Structure 1
């Protein structure tokens, strides 16, 4: 069966295991149903997620022009501490920034390859954890805007990592951690502005991924270098497809690539 369209990050539904979907303009794929089947992926063209033009993708699914112009790629996306909508100060589009920044945000701990701290909008829990390939996660602070979440993350980064080792995550080289204990250890490092928003009453969330076989050593598929690839799908974790020959494909890292996918 042939699917065709522009890649965007896979949609997910909580379950045991997580359900994954690739959405296209007129169709969708349930990736769980494609396990143990052969997938042929063919790169056809670029399609910027903002302007829709066939221009090389620069970052985050955008062509270079759009990346530096669209409010959806402002510096505050990757660095929440740079948020200024709570001050009424515009970066690129104040109305857009108010909608995204001035809503409840969560500072969390997630264990994908080791314990890390991160920030997400409350509406993106547990989606954000799933996208990072975390097998366990816990909320530690819920604040009313993105700026407060950002300065909390910055303060906690002195005591816990903010990075995920994607190779360790994909080879399942992980160990369970007591995230409640981690949260309690970090409590005194939460900045004063966010201290009243500390959460100490919830337990960790556990996540199961649809993986039949983990790779021992990952090989990353780059559609720029290899525009056609074929392999048997053995798992989905984070935003990666895992194939039998130990190739992994970062769907989110390939947003804006228009592809054809043949399933047999």
Structure 2
């Protein structure tokens, strides 16, 4: 992105939008896009402003928020591509969707590495010039495996995407990367949490197959939801056919969530997300 992005939230009060836009306009910068939202239950106000970059305006924004410590903000400068690490197990469709979209320039990130608990995808990943790390993972070696992953990620990843990584990470690992881990769950949450959701859906005779991208928390499949979508099915679909059509929904939903995160469009509010600028 060639513009600067300001995202902020605060207790609602009159004049916040005017104050922020005036800071930018007084510095001679054009606002390319502005979106905001007021949560009427908590009276929290959320705003995202995309504007022409200017060191003078950046400094003015920092001074403004330093004078308002009750307000939370992030200022993202242009052309700062985040580093993304992908975790994957045996299923490669979600991983490949991300790799191809990044290569096409649709998602503005650098894929710094792929980590897997299987060595299956090494050749596939390395042909794209991406580093691949095989880190075996099970209950007996979980602590050692997570430390190995932390060592690999240190300074090399701004956020993590679980692209059908079929292992449960520890609360300590998740807290270390709080709201920096995005997961794709192959179900329209909160339905069919946990393992084998397509089999659960088939047994219930569902008429909609869905997928959910969410931030990972210590509550299994219970983190703030970023994006969801569904596809209509009927009683003629077998379990295997549900899996096939479901993958298309997973790919689309995960790509949207990663794109929004990479473009600084997602703000976490309690156990929900506010997605601005979409």
With the shorter chain as reference, the TM-score category is: under 0.3
**TM-score scaled to structure 2, two decimals?**
0.24
**TM-score scaled to structure 1, two decimals?**
0.25
